[in-house]
Amino acid sequence: MQITITARHFNLTNAIREHIEEEAEKLERYFDHIIDAQFVMDVQNERNTVELIVHIPGNNLTSEATETDMYRAIDNVVEKMEQQIKKLKGKWEDHHRRNKKQENQFVYANLIQKKTPQNTVKIKRMIAEPMLVSDAIDEFEKQKQPYLIFKNIETDRINVLIKKDEEHYKLIQP
């Protein structure tokens, strides 16, 4: 996530910059698809106003806070944004769950076992869960199978993830 800081009517100190970066990291804990965050800070007549604009694919979220202390204003604006992000993430998850129930895509994986000199083919029926490639890698690390079949949300197609070695993966796309 890229962070842009704009200071109006005062000089931005390193302490405030570091505080903003620490608070912005909290947002990534809740939602990892944030493109960038813009902090616009203004000081007028002992009033510190902070506006936060967060760009997410398909959405721009805005929050604003005014306090007598700049640090408190930054904390409040980030807290307001956290609530908006949690709400949006809940909507995304509900939407994906609803789509998953409506569009269960079954994948038939051929598992070959050698019993005799001829191969025996067993067919396994499984649901391809919709997820991003990064999420598929995380899920793949949790399981012990040599492959992971999933529906790529970005391309809306079935993909297969295979581990080549300790650090590299192979993504097979139709």
Domain boundary pick from 77, 100, 123: 100
Q: Same domain for 15 and 95?
A: yes
Domain with 88, as residue range(s), is 2-100
Residue 43: the pLDDT is 94
Domain containing 54 — which CATH number?
A: 3.30.160.100
Q: Are 74 and 43 in contact (CB under 8 A)?
A: no
Average pLDDT over every residue of 30-57: 90
Structure-token pair, residue 160: 């297969």
Total domain count for the chain?
A: 2
Residue 121: the pLDDT is 63
Q: Are 96 and 130 in contact (CB under 8 A)?
A: yes
Q: Same domain for 57 and 137?
A: no
Q: Express each pLDDT in 54-88 by its tens digit.
A: 998 888 999 999 999 999 999 999 999 999 988 88
Q: Are 122 and 115 in contact (CB under 8 A)?
A: no
